[in-house]
Amino acid sequence: MHGSKREVCVIGAGIIGASVAFHLSRFDGVGVSIVDVGRAGAGTTDAGTGWITARNNKDPDYRAFKLEAMEEHHRLAGLFPSRPWLTARGTLQTEDTSARFDAFLDECREVGFPVEVLTAAKVNSELEPAIAFDDPAMRVAFFPREFSVAGALLAKMLVDRAIDNGAVGHFGSRVVGLERRPNARHRVAFSDGSWLDADAVVNAAGASADTISRMYGIEMPMSPQPGVGVRVKAQGNPLGRMIHTRMLTLKPETDGVLRLRSAHGWRTDIGPQEWNDDFTGGEGRSAFIGHVVEEARRLLPTAGISPIEILSGVRPIPADGLPRLGEVHSVPGYFESVTHSGAVLGPLVGRLLAEEIATGVENPALGRYRPARFPDVPPQESPAAA
Ligand SMILES: Cc1cc2nc3c(=O)[nH]c(=O)nc-3n(C[C@H](O)[C@H](O)[C@H](O)COP(=O)(O)OP(=O)(O)OC[C@H]3O[C@@H](n4cnc5c(N)ncnc54)[C@H](O)[C@@H]3O)c2cc1C
């Protein structure tokens, strides 16, 4: 330990690393360094849609974990005087998103995920006056418990607050090596030849987490999945909450800015997977973006929508689809925090992992998600070898 503090280096300042770092910085006896080759939140977190839900999950334990994660977002927001990253007014989904809409609603109710069914006309009169639905009688599901976040903004606010609490940010710094040092320390080596020593290291490098784990000889099987988001300008604030239509997901992000994600093409993993006959964007990037923007204009015809940024990201998905969280016991002091649905899980995962790192006590809530479930993770070292 350096001085009286346990020094922890968090690699990656996306939503996951930012949350771990923020929660660590709240412990008196912990010194925190946050390292990123770019800036906070600028990786996959910025490309992500930021839909906060637990309804799509068929696995009851994982769904319960996500429901808890949804609650954690509200607890986290309570720690900040304002919460500009959060739009908590429920979400909408039109009937034409699914050929089995009624069965889908039943499934949501069966697992106790609240949903109300409105007509498009009612959505217009009570919630979203600017949306131009094709048919006023069309059914629209309203999920009052769901919400959305601007993930990059949340990551940045968490990092800023961690720095207020005494953490130090190292940005533009690429980690190129990890090495175990005497006294159970870790050396984090940077591409510029400098290094930083710490008592513990957290691998929160998102889709590059397998590159970091390999620095300690640990294979991390991943099923990465690319995807894009489109950020557009919109006059006024034409949308109050996230909506999923047959062609698009739209969400209000910040003042005068909306986020779009196509429900078709460019390898999305939420919404209909089959190629849709109505989709005319083709595979070319410009055609694709043009199509997505055109669809958004059709839905919000008075908003003067124009594209500002195309955000590409790679979803960091461990090979079995579940989060990979906690210490790798064969390398004491080396922790992993890698997961899909990072916008949903970031706040909860960050707190639970920070508590484990700071107190040394493992939380059974993370039991199912330990790295040790993968055969490539070396078993715990015997005390003699440590
Ligand atoms: C199109 C799309 C839509 C999505 N929609 C949703 C959604 O609606 N809801 C949801 O919950 N999730 C969604 N996701 C997934 C979600 O965005 C990710 O799970 C989440 O952003 C992962 O966060 P992260 O912090 O692990 O990764 P990142 O945000 O990528 O952060 C990792 C950081 O590590 C840094 N880094 C990597 N290697 C190094 C190195 N060697 N040295 C220094 N720094 C390094 C990177 O620069 C990066 O900033 C979506 C993803 C995509 C692509």
Instruction: Convert the pLDDT of each residue in 127-149 to its tens digit.
Output: 999 999 999 999 999 999 999 99
Pick the atom of ligand 1 nearest to 227's CA.
1
Contacts of 386 (CB under 8 A, 6+ apart): 184, 332
Pick the atom of ligand 1 nearest to 175's CA.
42
Nearest-CA residue for ligand 1 atom 3 is 48
Nearest-CA residue for ligand 1 atom 18 is 342
For residue 158 the two structure tokens come to: 């968490």
The yes-or-no verdict on residue 294 having pLDDT over 50 is yes
Average pLDDT over residues 338-350: 98
How many A from CA of 322 to the centre of ligand 1? 15
Tokens 């710490």 identify what position? 198
For residue 344 the two structure tokens come to: 């949903």
- Measured CA to CA, the distance from residue 150 to residue 227 in angstroms comes to 16
Average pLDDT over residues 243-263: 93
CA torsion sign for 284, 285, 289, 292 is: positive
Nearest-CA residue for ligand 1 atom 52 is 48
Local confidence band at 119 (pLDDT 50, 70, 90 cut-offs):
very high
Domains of the chain, start order: 6-46+152-223+318-373 (3.50.50.60), 91-144+225-315 (3.30.9.10)
Average pLDDT over residues 82-102: 95
